């Protein structure tokens, strides 16, 4: 069965500091992974997907199949990055399996 683990429920960093939100997965198929973000009073929305290998709002995430990880990173955190972040794994038939989420707080 699939599993997505986000070990940190809460993460606080100072503005300008690097930030890393951890995500590990377990899946027997070929993994496709995503990060979703929910800012205060906004809808949950896609942040980035690993197949695009893109940087969105300064965030990047590399799929490491050897370590079964998909950690989200940003070199310099900004206050507007404070939000709830979910790692998600795409399983068959367009179903997304979500982790439990990490609430990031960037301290001014």
Per CB under 8 A, residues contacting another protein are 6, 9, 32, 34, 36, 43-46, 49, 86, 88, 90, 93-101
Q: How far apart are CA 68 and CA 31, in angstroms?
A: 9
Minimal distance, residue 17 CB to another protein, in Å? 25
Q: Which of 53, 58, 40, 105 is nearest to 79 (CA)?
A: 105
Minimal distance, residue 76 CB to another protein, in Å? 27
Minimal distance, residue 108 CB to another protein, in Å? 25
Q: Which of 103, 108, 87 is nearest to 32 (CA)?
A: 87
């Amino acid at each position: 069965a699939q599993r997505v683990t986000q070990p940190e429920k809460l993460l606080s960093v100072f503005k300008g500091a690097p930030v890393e939100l951890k995500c590990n997965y377990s899946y027997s198929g070929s993994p496709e992974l995503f990060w979703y973000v929910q800012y205060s009073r906004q809808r949950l929305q896609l942040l980035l997907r690993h197949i695009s290998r893109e940087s969105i709002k300064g965030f990047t995430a590399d799929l490491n199949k050897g370590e079964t990880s998909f950690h989200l990173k940003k070199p310099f955190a900004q206050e507007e990055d404070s939000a709830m972040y979910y790692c998600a794994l795409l399983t068959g038939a367009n179903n997304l399996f979500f982790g439990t989420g990490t609430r990031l707080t960037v301290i001014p």
